[in-house]
Structures are given as C-alpha cells and as structure tokens.
C-alpha cells in the first residue's frame, strides 16, 4: 500500500481496515467478498470518483479474501484516478480497455472473471451486496452471468457483514462527519437569513440553502425536500416546488431536509424554520417529538441493540397516550456516513449490537393537524458510556 496525493487517511488506517475486514470475512465463514458499492470500495481503498451514479462507468469493484489478498477491477480510464486517490499499488488494479491496446480484458465482465481466477477466488463462498440498502454496481444480467461462470463459487448475501465492517468510524472520519454537520448548520442558518415568507417559493429557498452548503465546503449537497406549511408537510420527501409560495401565517413550519457530504461521508439534517415561533396548538407535537428523541438517545449505548432506540421512542409516545401520532412506529433512524441512511436500521426487534464510534441519526416524526407532519432529527456518536451529539443539538425550531 502507498500514500497517494489525495488519500484522505493514513496508509496505516487502510491497512487496519483491510485486515479488520479480512478477519470478519473469515469469522463469517466466507472465502472472500465482492464489494461493488461506493461505500465498500471507498472504505477499503480510499477511491474518490464522481462516477458512482453512472450506469455506464465502473469506478472500481473490490475482491477481498479472508486471507487478506485483494484486487480492484475497473476501467482503463479509472486507473489514474485510483493511483491519485487510493492506497492501491498499480498491480492491485485490474483494468479493462475496449480499444485492445493493452492486451487486457476488453470489457468489465471479462476483467471480473480474469481477476477472480487470478486471485484464486473460484471456489467456496463469496459474500456479496444482495440486500439491505446495497445495490450491485453492475446490471443484474451480468451478475447472473458471473454466477454461471463460476459454478464452484456460492454467491451469498453478506449485507449485514458489510454494514458491520463499515459501521465504526475512526477519529479522522468523525472529524469529517462533524465538518459535514457544521456545513449543515451554516446552510440552515443561511436559509433562516434568506427566507421571506409570503414572497418566496420553496424552490427559491432551496437554492439559497443548497448554494450555502456548497460554499461552506460540501462535496455534494443532497437534493433536498423543502416543504412549507402543514399541508405540504404531509408530502414526505417531496422536492421543493417553484409553484408553492411560503405562507407567512404565524406557526408556518418550513421543513427542510438535506445533507452535506465531506470526504465522502454524509451527515443528513432536518431543519424546521418556524414563522413567528411555535404556536401553542403546535406545542404538543414538538414536545412529543423532542421527548422521543431524548428517549432514543437514552437507549443508545455500547452493547445495546439497534432496536432498543425504536422501542424506547414508541414506549414514550404510548406513555403520553399519543402512540397514534407516531408516523413510523418501530423505526427510530439508522446509521449514517456512507449514505443518508446506512445500516444498521434502528428498527424495533433489531439485534445489531451498538459499538463505540458508530454514528447514528435519530428521527422522530409525529402527525398532528397543527403541523401536518413534524420531523426532528438528531445525529449522534456512540461513546464508551452512551452517546453524544455529533456536533451539537439540532432539534430546536429555527424561528423567523
């Protein structure tokens, strides 16, 4: 391994990551894994590419064995980017080239087959990203062809193992996540400054917030939902509209959801901008959602299960006689970092054990006529003794 110009973390961290992952692969009874997602490739190698959303390009796919042997497959055009951003040596990168100039595989599929054979991963069990928030970065027909090509390999779903590998963040990663959270704070503050109730559309406010997010240093500012007023708040995830003027009535809540990305790590945010402050009739919804977040935080600690937070939230709402207000009973949020939602899901019944260094987002959504749907979000880090805010409290109303 080597320190390339844009490698974000020390080589030693990548050695630890690779060794730790190999140990987990072995413990899971696998011979190797195939990681095609941005999360897995970036975590294990540091690859920084903009092409992950392409359905044509192939930034990189990693095979990693229980013995620590590994190789990355990608296109010829990805080689220089890999050498500039990753810990990989050139011989670790198995590329294909359609022009035929280099005597290597002419296409992605042939390169995958060559690399599997070259690394000796042709028999046994290979863990793959087949469920749980992972989408194979190849088309389904190609994956089926691969299975037929290697009858001695059993392609098994190892999504839980993959999330387990990705879950705990290093101090350096936490710093980047805190930076992302700080960008969110600044973007929301800009929204508060720019908003003109009665004279601005949702889309205009969205542009101000997103622009501020980028100028504050976000690598990508997730396409946001901006919903103004109780009626619009019911439209979960609806994009900002240029047909909706933000109402100016007291208590109008502008629900903003998005998230900054810093060094490939995502910190989602939810901000509630309230015109004239929270009104008395809205107070019960705020109190319920705030209380749910507090209870969830109390349930997050090392050794606790991911499901405990959801159960604590629901128990609190039930104790208040407001179980019917809860929009998503049995769900309290998820891990964060590689995406806006990572494993583990904080879902009632989940036995995924929390560990120090995991980053979670806790979300409480309640339905009430005075607000439509009110969603509060708090990002936290699991600590040795419980959990703490990732970068400050984020559930207070922003009053304009």
Partner 1 sequence: MRSAPTLEFPLDEYEARMAGLFAKIEEAGCEAVLLTNEENLRYFCDYRSAGWNSEFAYPAMLLAARGGKAALVTSTRQLPTALATCCLAESEILAFDGFGEPGSHEAFVPAIVSALSRLGVTSGRLGTETGLVARMRITYGDYTALFEALPGMQPMDFAKYIFDLREIKSPREIEVMRKCCGMSVDAFKAAMDKLELGKTTEEEMYHEYVAASFDMGADDFEYQLIVEFGPDRPQPNCMPGARVYEDPDWCVFADSGPSYKGYVSDMIRIGKLNPPTKAQQDFYDISLECHKSCIAMVRPGARIGDFCKAHDDFMRAHGVEDICLTMNNSGHGVGLDVHEMPVIKSVFADKEFKPGMVFAFEPTIIHPVEGQIVLENNYLVTEDGCENLTPQLQDIYVPRRS
Distance CA 359, CA 342 (A): 9
Q: Applying CB under 8 A, which of residues 28, 104, 113, 235 lies at the interface with partner 1? A: 235
Of the pair 124, 132, the CB lying nearest partner 1 is at 132
Least distance (Å) between residue 223 CB and partner 1:
5
Q: Applying CB under 8 A, which of residues 34, 62, 73, 128 lies at the interface with partner 1? A: 128
Q: How many residues does the chain have?
A: 400
Q: Binding of partner 1 at residue 351 (CB under 8 A)?
A: no
353 in the Ramachandran plot: left (φ > 0), alpha (ψ -120 to 50) or beta?
Answer: beta
Q: Binding of partner 1 at residue 331 (CB under 8 A)?
A: yes
H/E element, 74: strand 70-75
Q: Binding of partner 1 at residue 80 (CB under 8 A)?
A: yes
> Any alpha helices (H) in 196-305, and if so which ranges?
202-215, 230-233, 283-299
Distance CA 246, CA 227 (A): 8
Contact in structure between 397 and 272 (CB atoms under 8 Å): yes
Q: Binding of partner 1 at residue 89 (CB under 8 A)?
A: no
Q: How many residues bind partner 1 (CB under 8 A)?
A: 76
Q: Of the ranges 70-78, 192-200, 281-289, 389-397, which one interacts with partner 1 (CB under 8 A)?
A: 70-78
Q: Binding of partner 1 at residue 175 (CB under 8 A)?
A: no
Q: Applying CB under 8 A, which of residues 65, 133, 247, 251 lies at the interface with partner 1? A: 133
Of the pair 109, 316, the CB lying nearest partner 1 is at 109
Contact in structure between 211 and 231 (CB atoms under 8 Å): no
Contact in structure between 119 and 63 (CB atoms under 8 Å): yes
Q: Binding of partner 1 at residue 184 (CB under 8 A)?
A: no
- Cα–Cα distances (Å) from 356 to 165, 167, 168, 224, in that order, read 14, 10, 7, 30
Q: Binding of partner 1 at residue 176 (CB under 8 A)?
A: no
Contact in structure between 32 and 127 (CB atoms under 8 Å): yes
Least distance (Å) between residue 267 CB and partner 1:
13
Q: Of the ranges 11-19, 63-71, 292-300, 323-331, which one interacts with partner 1 (CB under 8 A)?
A: 323-331
Least distance (Å) between residue 331 CB and partner 1:
4
Contact code string over 193-222 relative to partner 1, x by CB under 8 A: ----------x--xx--xx--xx-x-xxxx
Contact in structure between 221 and 259 (CB atoms under 8 Å): yes
Pairing of strands 153-157, 124-128: parallel
Q: Binding of partner 1 at residue 269 (CB under 8 A)?
A: no
Residue 161 in tokens: 């193992």
DSSP for 308-329 reads HHHHHHHHHHHHTT-GGGBSST
Q: Binding of partner 1 at residue 339 (CB under 8 A)?
A: yes
Of the pair 22, 164, the CB lying nearest partner 1 is at 164
Contact code string over 147-166 relative to partner 1, x by CB under 8 A: ----------x-x-------
Distance CA 342, CA 360 (A): 9
Least distance (Å) between residue 236 CB and partner 1:
5
b/e map 77-107, b = 16+ CB within 10 Å: ebbebbeebbbbeeebbbbbbeeeeeeebee
Of the pair 103, 280, the CB lying nearest partner 1 is at 103
Q: Applying CB under 8 A, which of residues 345, 354, 360, 387 lies at the interface with partner 1? A: 345
Least distance (Å) between residue 4 CB and partner 1:
10
Q: Applying CB under 8 A, which of residues 17, 24, 48, 368 lies at the interface with partner 1? A: 48
- Scan residues 271-290 and list those touching partner 1 (CB under 8 A): none
Least distance (Å) between residue 158 CB and partner 1:
11
Q: Binding of partner 1 at residue 328 (CB under 8 A)?
A: yes
Q: Applying CB under 8 A, which of residues 94, 95, 134, 162 lies at the interface with partner 1? A: 134
Pairing of strands 265-274, 342-347: unpaired
């Amino acid at each position: 391994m080597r320190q390339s110009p844009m490698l974000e973390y020390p080589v030693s961290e990548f050695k630890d990551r690779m060794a730790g992952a190999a140990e987990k692969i072995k413990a899971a009874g696998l011979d190797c894994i195939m990681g095609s997602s941005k999360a897995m490739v970036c975590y294990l190698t540091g690859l920084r590419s903009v092409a992950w959303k392409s359905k044509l390009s192939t930034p990189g796919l990693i095979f990693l064995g229980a013995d620590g042997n590994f190789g990355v497959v990608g296109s010829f055009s990805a080689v220089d980017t890999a050498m500039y951003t990753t810990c990989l040596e050139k011989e670790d990168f198995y590329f294909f080239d359609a022009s035929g100039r280099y005597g290597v595989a002419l296409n992605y599929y042939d390169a995958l087959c060559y690399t599997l054979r070259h690394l000796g991963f042709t028999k046994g069990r290979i863990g793959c990203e087949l469920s749980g928030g992972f989408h194979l970065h190849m088309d389904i027909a190609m994956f089926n062809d691969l299975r037929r090509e290697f009858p001695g390999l059993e392609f098994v779903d190892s999504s839980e193992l993959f999330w387990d590998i990705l879950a705990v963040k290093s101090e350096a990663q936490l710093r980047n996540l805190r930076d992302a959270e700080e960008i969110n704070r600044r973007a929301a503050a800009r929204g508060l400054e720019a908003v003109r109730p009665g004279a601005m559309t949702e889309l205009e406010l969205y542009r101000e917030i997103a622009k501020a997010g980028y100028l504050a240093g976000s690598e990508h500012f997730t396409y946001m939902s901006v919903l103004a007023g109780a009626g619009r708040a019911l439209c979960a995830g609806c994009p900002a509209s240029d047909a909706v003027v933000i109402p100016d009535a007291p208590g109008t809540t502008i629900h903003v959801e998005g998230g900054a990305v810093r060094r490939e790590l995502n910190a989602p945010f939810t901000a509630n901008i309230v015109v004239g402050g929270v009104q008395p009739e809205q107070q019960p919804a705020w109190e319920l959602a705030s209380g749910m977040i507090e209870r969830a935080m109390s349930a997050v600690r090392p050794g606790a299960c991911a499901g405990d937070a959801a159960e604590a939230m629901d128990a609190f709402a039930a104790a208040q006689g407001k179980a019917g207000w809860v929009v998503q009973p049995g769900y309290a949020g998820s891990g964060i970092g590689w995406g806006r939602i990572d494993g583990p899901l904080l879902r009632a019944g989940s036995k995924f054990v929390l560990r120090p260094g995991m980053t979670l987002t806790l979300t409480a959504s309640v339905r009430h006529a005075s607000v439509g749907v009110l969603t509060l979000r708090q990002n936290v880090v699991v600590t040795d003794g419980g959990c703490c805010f990732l970068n400050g409290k984020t559930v207070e109303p922003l009053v304009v």
